[in-house]
Amino acid sequence: MTENISPTEPPTIQPCMHCQGGRKRLKTATLMTWLGDDLITVPNFPAWICDICGHRNYDTQALAQLSLMLNPDAGTPIQTPVKPAGKKPTANTPPPA
């Protein structure tokens, strides 16, 4: 089997639907989003940014991955007993003189 499967490369330029004249290129931007009541920022997030009007769309695939990571229900791990990682402040700490 020598089937030459070339990965379909994603387009690196998209037309801008905002100004309808610019071209969007895949760059990185800081994504700010709400996670419950917490505002989180994700630096260097893939985003399509228009070279004319600056309009940006965050990369949908990256957004999907991010939501998977952030959604606490997405990958609920098996319940394992949580052991404190060897940090026992009261065990070997001498009392203050």
**Residues that bind Zn ion in the complex, under the rule CB under 5 A:** 16, 18-19, 22, 50, 52-53, 55
57 versus 66: smaller Cβ distance to Zn ion? 57
Report the C-alpha gap between 43 and 28 in whole angstroms: 8
Query: By 3-state DSSP, what share of the chain in percent is helix, strand and coil, each rounded to 5?
Result: 10, 35, 55
**Least Cβ distance, residue 50 to Zn ion (angstroms):** 3
**Least Cβ distance, residue 42 to Zn ion (angstroms):** 23
CB 59 within 8 A of CB 26: yes
31 versus 50: smaller Cβ distance to Zn ion? 50
